[in-house]
Amino acid sequence: MAGQETQGKLLIIGGAEDKEGDCKILREFLRCAGGTKAHIVVMTAATSLPGEVGDNYIRVFERLGAEDVRVVDTQTPEDAKNPDYLEAIEQATGIFFTGGDQARIISCLKDTKLDAAMHKRYSEGIIIGGTSAGAAMMPDMMIIEGDSETNPRVDVVAMGPGMGFLPNVVIDQHFAQRGRLGRLVTALLLQPAVLGFGIDENTAILVSGDELEVIGENAVTVIDESEKLHDNIDGRLKDEGLAICGAKLHILPHGYRFNLKTRQPVYDSAATTADRQRQLA
């Protein structure tokens, strides 16, 4: 898998992140965006309650010390041409996508001027974050919707174009809490991607270059099918069970890292020692 050519970072959250307590994940997003000098843009395209959701994130980021927080609410593709919104993106040091429905993000933003502006700013080094639907849309091909708590079958997941911030992977969110292993395996078998990340609630991956680090309360499930021995997707009807043999499975809690280029977890003693020190601090 090719490494990331961009200079920015991604914070991809499995949903239901802490907004009232220590806010470990959102605190890390703000730190990467410049801390007390951060200019945050909250993207509310995914939600049907943009006022309420936007105000909630404004409150959290201002409480944590952001210098400026503003909402960009795109309900139609025409909104993505708004010069005030384009200016906000140009001045942002961090862009954050809320939860909701990831299909709304694509319908309002994909291939617009605002989309191009965000990718430009990402290539210039800013951080882009997203939770729930804002996590699902990160790959070039995303899970639009699908069944939870089921075995892998062709009909348990619908795929479509994502925003392409982290290509060549599949991401699922609310992972352990909603029993989504079956649909993540299905999504991987339907796509040319070989890595799937199932991110639990109040848990995130911070992606920088070829490496990511897990942050938060629960865990990230990594499925690597690059060296699988067998699958039966060819010839399967929609409601027939899928098989996959020889895939690798990694479960990574807070502090563990994963290299996207080598497709290997990083668990050297120095890393785990540093993690223990952070937890004790």
Which residues are known to be catalytic? Answer: 132, 174, 201
Rounded to a whole number, what is the distance in angstroms from the first to the last CA of the chain? Answer: 36
Contacts of 171 (CB under 8 A, 6+ apart): 12, 135, 136, 138, 139, 142, 143, 196, 197, 199
Contact 183, 177 (CB under 8 A): no
User: In 3D, which of 212, 132, 215, 210 has the Cα closest to residue 175?
Assistant: 132
Checking 210-213 for CB contacts under 8 A at 24+ apart, the result is 210/3, 210/4, 210/259, 210/260, 210/261, 211/257, 211/258, 211/259, 211/260, 211/266, 212/257, 212/258, 212/260, 213/255, 213/256, 213/257
- Structure tokens given for 141: 């091909």
Angle at 186 between CA 183 and CA 189, to 5 degrees: 155
Reported as half-sphere exposure (CB side, CA atoms, 13 A), residue 39 has a value of 10
Query: In one letter, which amino acid is 60?
Result: V
